[in-house]
Each structure stands twice: as C-alpha cells, then as structure tokens.
Amino acid sequence: MCRTSLTVLLATIVLPAAAQTGTVFIPKAIVLPGTTTAEAAANQVWSLRAALNVAALQCQFSPFLRTVPHYNALIKQHAKEFTRAQAALGGYFRRTAGKGAANALDRYNTRLYQSYTTLDAQLAFCDAASATGRDVLTQPIGRLGAIALTEVTAVRASLTPVAAPPIAITLPDAETQAGG
C-alpha cells in the first residue's frame, strides 16, 4: 500500500504568494517631523483612536472580538482626550503647513488610517486591537495619553504577518482511494 506525504501549510494567517518572496506589505507608522512633546503625544492618542476605528470596521467578522462595542465605548469614555489630541494636531499642521493646514491634516488622517489597513496580517491585527480596546477601557479618564505609545506599539507589531510552522498530513494515494 503506497502512500504519499503532502506537507500542508496551516497558518493562523494565510500568507499570499507575495509574502513568500519577501514582498508582503507591512504598513508603517506615520511620523510627524518637528513635533512638540504635546503634539507627539497627541499623535499617539490619535493613532490609537485610528487603529481601533479601523479594527471596528475591519474586524466585524468575529463578534467575539468586540471591536465595535470597544470602539464605541472608548469614544464616549475618552472623548475629551480625543478632542484635545485633535486640537493639538490641528495646531501642529497650522504651524507647519500654514494655509494648507486643513489639507495637510486630511492627508495625515488618510495616511494614518491606511497605515492600519492590512490583509496580510488581518487576524493578528484584529486580535491585538481587541486586546487594546479592552485595555483602553480599563484606563481612567485622563490617562489615555499615558498608555497610547505602548498600545500603539503593540497594535503595530501585529501588522507583521507570521506564518505558522508546516504540519505534515499523510493522504492516501489514488490507488488506495479507488479501493485497490
């Protein structure tokens, strides 16, 4: 009885063919040059908000992750902090872009949201964003800035796709399947 062995890659995240050649897309963080300390902190808070907003939209395939309820609750809980972050970023773009501040802020927001969009690591991103959403909701009002950098770093790390090790599965050959 002849059997053939077939190695099947079972991964938590299925990598496209491009990932196997090292050309997978890994979104990069948005860096704002010349920020003050307050503006850099605002960038982290706003980046955290963007990550969790993208998760609320992109991760609805699993209600167990609770990304939508987490996002809606944190928007209410930390509304003042998000308003302050948005105002600080508006000030940054007025200072650095002058009359083009509104357009620069729009471009920033577009790039920021796109920096969390991924197919290559969607499951890991959704899992990390869910955990981050839970963590953010445990923070008292006024403390979001203190954890934003740590949480953004964790979510960003999830955007790098990782393949699971191969699992060998032995399948019967055609002769065995035909009953011979």
What does the pLDDT read at residue 19? Answer: 44
Mark whether 57 and 115 lie in a shared domain. yes
Mark whether 98 and 45 lie in a shared domain. yes
Mark whether 92 and 134 lie in a shared domain. yes
Mark whether 45 and 123 lie in a shared domain. yes
Mark whether 72 and 11 lie in a shared domain. no
> What is the domain count for the chain?
2
User: For residues 170 and 83, which has the higher predicted lDDT (pLDDT)?
Assistant: 83
d(C-alpha 19, C-alpha 136), whole Å: 32
| Domain coverage including residue 176 | 1-24+164-180
**Phi, psi of 118, rounded to the nearest 5 degrees:** -150, 145
Mark whether 73 and 96 lie in a shared domain. yes
Element housing 115 (H / E):
none
Mark whether 97 and 142 lie in a shared domain. yes
Mark whether 96 and 170 lie in a shared domain. no
d(C-alpha 18, C-alpha 168), whole Å: 23
The answer on pLDDT for 3 being more than 60 is no
Mark whether 54 and 139 lie in a shared domain. yes
- At 90-146, the pLDDT tens digits run 999 999 999 999 999 999 999 999 998 877 788 899 999 999 999 999 999 999 888
Mark whether 9 and 65 lie in a shared domain. no
d(C-alpha 129, C-alpha 135), whole Å: 10
Residue pair 28/140 in contact (Cβ under 8 Å)? The answer is: no
Mark whether 90 and 146 lie in a shared domain. yes
Mark whether 124 and 168 lie in a shared domain. no
Residue pair 161/24 in contact (Cβ under 8 Å)? The answer is: yes
The answer on pLDDT for 2 being more than 50 is no
pTM confidence score: 0.75
Q: How confident is the model at residue 30 (pLDDT cuts 50, 70, 90)?
A: confident
